[in-house]
A and B are shown apart, each in its own frame.
Chain A
Amino acid sequence: MIDLLLFRTALRDLVRARRLFWVGAFTLLVPVLAFVICRYLHPESRTWVYNNLAGTMVFGFVMVILAVLFATGALTQELEQRTIVYLLTRPVSRWRILLARFLAASLMATSAAWIAIIGLALVTVGVHHFGEVHLGRDLLILPVAALAYSGIFLFLAALTGKALVPLVVGLLYGFLWESLIPQLPGNFKLMSLMSYVHILAPHNLDSTSAQPNGAAGLLLASSSSTYTITHTVAWTVLITVIVVSLTASLAVFSVREYVPREEAG
């Protein structure tokens, strides 16, 4: 009962006008972009538009940025508004407080990403042709990916206890690291979470097709990955990341002090 109350309160806290504006903007960006692109393409290319935008924009951008916003906000909002003291001085285990907030954050990130991808499917292939794209599979993998990313960003927030640091680090990780690492030669892609997500929800975004020509292309080709990520490996890695990052977040939150420094007099 208390867990449900904590979850509901966290959901209400996360739905703030300022945050909702950005969430709405990111969520609607994909269908709007798809609408604009589809106007200039042949109707038969619409599946291609869905796959490209689902892979790059929904999974690679919207879901990640929503996970950053909600997962870091799940903790840092309480720290910023300095109301965390009320939660930490009640007879409820700290890990239960954070778990409820994590689940609320993941639900919010997933819901918004679902809206984005359903909107994308509606605009590109229409409701009668959902079967032409793997919408069901994408809807299933999005929450898994959101949980994994949210776990990592929540851990950053729990570790630093600050609002800005996990947000900046989260954005750098989500976009710089996750964009660059899979492009590097060899098995570097194994260090990117998105590589595993794309195995479970492929959208025909084969990075080798985008490799540069000339000397750089030869270098990448000669040192291309020697390891193929299977479905089993992808599931195992994602679930491990969720469990480990969440456990670490809960452990840190249970023992760390969260008193604002300026109030420590």
Chain B
Amino acid sequence: MITLERASRWYGQVVALNDVSCSVGKGITALLGPNGAGKSTLLKLVTGQIRTTTGNVRVLNLAPFANSAVYKRLGYVPELESAYEEQTGRQFVTFMAALAGIPGPERNSRVAAALEKVAITAAADRKMGGYSKGMRQRVKVAQAIVHDPEVLILDEPLNGLDPVGRRDIGNILIEHAAAGKCIVISSHILHEVEHLTRNILLLHKGRLLAQGDIYTIRALIDKHPHKVQLECGKARQLAQTLAGMDSVVSVRIDRANAGLVEIETPHPDRFYADLPGIAEHNDLEITAFHSPDNNLEAVFNYLVHS
């Protein structure tokens, strides 16, 4: 339903998207990449807000730029928070529904259904200027689905949503995908979209790094030793204990912070499973731990360099 053929987009001397070729069909596809990867640029190309510098973009077999025939069948949730502050959520969605060509008699019922779907009905008659970020996200999704589009493009739609909101929006997307629609959702947080789809596109610095099944990418990522940092009052004893673990390949005590131990493990799941038992058995109080690798930027760096 969406095809990019060697699509590139430059802003002056800056390349935002570089020679990207891919195709997206029915179902949910997650567009992943750290901030500045080119996700929004790709989505702006697909939604016909900008043109490619070189290459082609086709949506439903049509060139999307300023093409009403595409917009009839496309819904878009932009990343921006801006809204018509003086309008209520209902007025805004009604306006969008009218522009989408939904005739008067059925417009109100379609708007009500869309607002109900995103669970914003109770606040629908309040001005959007007073909406929280989560409420704005819900209304943005409502305006995108009100005309039941075949293609739904969502730019970071889960930003600012609480867990309930994420679940609600996720359920809507799953429902649309089950109805045979094409959905592209961008995110810079891997786990945010993991439960929605297995199909991903990985973008980094404007280039398409990988495309396909999320578990394949996960497996690829898991080959890369993960770094984990632990803080403990008995750092030397902790380091000694961790060095004896099968799942740990290196241990280092931070020079600047004597209480900080950094390990590398190719099997993070096994390491995390074993850690509580070891800490308890050796009477080691771990006050904090985090993994600097547990973000997409680190994953992309690994993929780029491997």
Q: Is A263 interfacial (CB 8 A cutoff)? A: yes
Q: Is A205 interfacial (CB 8 A cutoff)? A: no
Contact with A along B87-103 (1 / 0, CB 8 A): 00000000110111100
Other-chain residue from B11, B51, B68, B69 in contact with A261 (beta carbon distance below 8 A) = B11
> A151 CA to B98 CA in the complex, in Å?
27
Other-chain residue from B11, B35, B50, B99 in contact with A2 (beta carbon distance below 8 A) = B99
Stretch at the interface among B74-82, B174-182, B214-222, B248-256: B74-82
What residue in chain B is nearest A255 (Cβ atoms)?
B66
Nearest chain B CB to A214 CB, angstrom units: 54
> A186 CA to B84 CA in the complex, in Å?
51
Are A90 and B84 in contact, CB atoms less than 8 angstroms apart? no
Given that A89-B76, A255-B66, A265-B36 are known contacts, is A12 also in contact with B99, CB under 8 Å in the complex?
no
Chain B residue numbers with a CB within 8 Å of A83 are: 82-84
Nearest chain B CB to A177 CB, angstrom units: 32
Q: Is B40 interfacial (CB 8 A cutoff)? A: yes
Q: Is B16 interfacial (CB 8 A cutoff)? A: yes
Are B71 and A91 in contact, CB atoms less than 8 angstroms apart? yes
Are B38 and A90 in contact, CB atoms less than 8 angstroms apart? no
Contact with B along A76-105 (1 / 0, CB 8 A): 000001110111111111100000000000
Q: How many residues of A contact B (CB 8 A)?
A: 29
Chain A residue numbers with a CB within 8 Å of B162 are: none
Are B76 and A91 in contact, CB atoms less than 8 angstroms apart? no
> A89 CA to B71 CA in the complex, in Å?
6
Chain A residue numbers with a CB within 8 Å of B79 are: 263
Stretch at the interface among B41-49, B233-241, B275-283: B41-49
Q: Is B26 interfacial (CB 8 A cutoff)? A: no
Other-chain residue from B11, B84, B100, B104 in contact with A264 (beta carbon distance below 8 A) = B11
Chain B residue numbers with a CB within 8 Å of A93 are: 68
> A85 CA to B43 CA in the complex, in Å?
12
Q: Is B72 interfacial (CB 8 A cutoff)? A: yes
> A220 CA to B101 CA in the complex, in Å?
61
Q: Is A254 interfacial (CB 8 A cutoff)? A: yes
Q: Is A257 interfacial (CB 8 A cutoff)? A: yes
Are B78 and A85 in contact, CB atoms less than 8 angstroms apart? yes
> A1 CA to B143 CA in the complex, in Å?
19
What residue in chain B is nearest A93 (Cβ atoms)?
B68
Contact with A along B118-151 (1 / 0, CB 8 A): 0000000000000000000000000100000000
Q: Is A9 interfacial (CB 8 A cutoff)? A: yes
Are A82 and B82 in contact, CB atoms less than 8 angstroms apart? yes
Nearest chain A CB to B238 CB, angstrom units: 41
Chain B residue numbers with a CB within 8 Å of A257 are: 49-51
Chain A residue numbers with a CB within 8 Å of B104 are: 1
Besides the known contacts A87-B99, A92-B68, A265-B41, 13 further A-B residue pairs in the complex with CB atoms under 8 A apart: A1-B98, A2-B98, A6-B99, A13-B84, A82-B80, A83-B82, A83-B84, A89-B74, A90-B71, A92-B71, A93-B68, A257-B49, A264-B41
- For the complex of A and B, list the 4 residue pairs with the smallest distance between their C-beta atoms, beginning with the closest: A90-B99, A82-B82, A91-B68, A91-B71
